[in-house]
Structure 1
């Protein structure tokens, strides 16, 4: 079972292969170990400046808070911490292959006070600021401990090579003096100690890099709430565009179709009136009236179609009746199971319309594109949510985005956007060969 999602954008860097497990004996010689050490060097170069930036931000915000201009400056520095976060994410990505998603783009509020409030209340900026403060002691401790371990390990391993070059007065004191005198076993102890430290060094170093990685993932990435908010903004923007396009289509249909027919009806009635008032042929007048009557009936049919596109008339009797009516009129056998209580109380009108159009379009897709012979629709209420599941026995392989790498939207993308616009969930499972199962979860009300 797999859920179809949007493919990576074209041109995105290919994901690096997963790193192999590092053994204890090979750890000091693996590239990852040295990349971790390089990351500590980079972090040490950046962290002091970020740490200073963090405290300067607080100092300026506290010192200038009494002035309105100070609020703008402090808020701007808080948002500017996002840039430091981006720099640390880049370092982790380039050295340790750690991918941390970017937080949602900052959106400044409209107006004077809302603008200040959005700057001072930027949660992503504050979290990046906190990372600058908290990561500094970890970076310093990690770099010092790692470098000391590595230096002592390499010094001990190579001690038999360079110990003879120590000053004689230094060698005569303590252990080094004893080694020069000729105790070879002490040389072996020094080398063995160095080897042990060398093999322990990568794992001790990894503790610090893992801690920094966890901090970065917790503070520099997006929160679930921020991601959800960004998704809602995008979905509602799509819904607004779709509504605008729908209104334009209705306006065009009324202008090019219905209005033209009504104008023709008016002209035919005028001609019939002239025929009757000037003593013309009554048969010609009757023919004109018959034509006008037929045109008026066609216009009424068109208006019903347009009105049905705005709000299905079947929903006036409730969702259960509308879905059963839809199933009866479907081009293939559809079994609609609507659990008791779905319409008690009634769902929000917008939610009912989404459920109706979702079932209608999925049923049409099953007949038109999937080659299905039967569709099963199940609708039930679960607390403050309504769950709609539509399954068919077609050929499967349905996707929200084309899987040819172009990222082109399919017809299901519009359904998904409409569902997301009311904070719903859209799940598609459609393996090649079928079956296709679409599960839509919607709130029962669009009000908070």
Structure 2
């Protein structure tokens, strides 16, 4: 696979046909149908109750005489919308795997009084956004229940021959073969042979149903992301708070590592060097018992400790900022990939040099990911690509032909890399199916 290529290959006609035929048996399709059924019922109920509460609340507010009652009803409607949004977020996480962070709950000072608390809740932007979701969910619930109807009708039509064998013609009117289309009517089978038509009708309906439910679920996902989560500003503040905490933790960890390495490494060597030189000094002071061989051994030991201390200090400095980066990211990546024990195809097209902090993160990400390739993937070859995108973003792609299965939180160091990338508003994407290949994409801004 070329280093700069990340687009998956187009599915073959055979693979596409297999996917269509297997869709009704896919667990995802049944989960989406269950989600649409449950949220369709709760969405209709919640929307009707919310409309009643808001209509009564606005009506009382406009009448002036019942303004307080109207405000209370409006606040109750906001609470209902929040509860509805909370329920749908949980159902989406359980059935769709869509995890949407909850917006912050409205909170007012304890001494604000009744009107202060009412005013605070009425000004709650996230509450009104969830009201918007519940109201927008009303027509979507109807479409979702209609999509679920395709599953039910398909299964009913498949049982037409069985129902004929068990119940015959019922009241003499035959067996109804249902169609999910809103117009066109439904045929009636008056013989066992006629009921066999229900099998292809049911199969066609069940083949279409998963894609219908998936389309409706996709619209609902986007609606939830837009209205049920925290707003863009609140989410940005939350991300900044989290990345600031990650940056502080990363700095503290780095300082602790430097202190530990200095204490356990170079400091021990320098202490041994000082003791050795003291012993040499003592030997040279007493000329009557001077043993040149012993002095020579002490000097050799001191020289060895000085050399080791210099090596450890050099490695420590390289771990903080690799000197090879002074000549640019391209040269640093060439040096890094040349040292790898597996063949690495390198592609570099960096039109504008990023800031030193971004270069450092890119270098360490590449080094860590190549280490993962060597230790965990069982790959015979790897690819590394560093390209500047049209928007100025630096995109790193590290791929291999190993056995795949890489994911964050499995001891591969990917969680730490993700945290480091997020401190500069970067992203890390992992595509590593079982059996491989693996492609990890890191996008970094040009400036930290």
Name the residue aligned to 1:416: 418
| Per-residue CA distance 1:309-336 (angstroms, 9 max, x = gap) | 1111111111111110111111211222
Structure 1 residue runs without a partner (length 5+): 3-13, 23-29, 61-77, 109-119, 140-211, 403-408
For the pair shown, which has the larger CA radius of gyration, 1 or 2? Answer: 1
Give matches, 1:16-415, under 5 Å: 17-19=31-33, 35=42, 38-40=45-47, 42-43=49-50, 47=54, 86-90=82-86, 101-105=100-104, 125-129=124-128, 218-279=226-287, 280-283=289-292, 284-339=294-349, 341=351, 344=352, 346-382=353-389, 383-402=391-410, 410-415=412-417
Change (3 A) 1:230 1:47: same
Q: Structure 1 residues 214, 439: closer, same or farther in 2, change over 3 A?
A: closer
1:270-302 residue CA offsets vs partner (Å, 9 max, x unmatched): 111011112242422222121111101001111
| Cα pair distance change 1:249/1:16, threshold 3 Å | farther
Q: Which has the higher contact order (CA 8 A, sep 6+)?
A: 1
* Structure 2 gaps, min length 5: 1-6, 9-27, 69-74, 108-118, 139-219
Indicate the RMSD between aligned Cα atoms, in angstroms: 4.8
Distance 1:412 1:107, change over 3 A: farther
In the alignment, is residue 433 of structure 1 matched against residue 435 of structure 2?
yes
Change in 2 beyond 3 A, CA 1:258/1:386: same
SS at match of 2:439: strand
Question: 1:51-84: per-residue Cα shift (whole Å, max 9, x none)?
Answer: 699999xx99xxxxxxxxxxxxxxxxx9x99866
1:239-286: CA deviation from partner (whole Å, max 9, x where unpaired): 321221121011011112211211111111011101111224242222
Alpha carbons of structure 1 residues 291 and 19: separation in structure 2 relative to 1, 3 Å: same
Quote the Cα distance in structure 2 between the aligned partners of 1:47 and 1:278. Answer: 101
C-alpha separation in 2, matches of 1:364 and 1:322: 16
Aligned length: 320
Structure 1 residues 331 and 235, CA, compared in 2 at 3 Å: closer, same or farther?
A: farther
What is the CA deviation profile of residues 359-418 of structure 1, one whole-angstrom value per residue up to 9, with x for unaligned ones?
Answer: 11111111111011111111111242111111111111111245xxxxxx6411111221
Task: Sort the Cα spacing of 1:123 and 1:359 in 2 relative to 1 into closer, same or farther, 3 A.
Answer: farther
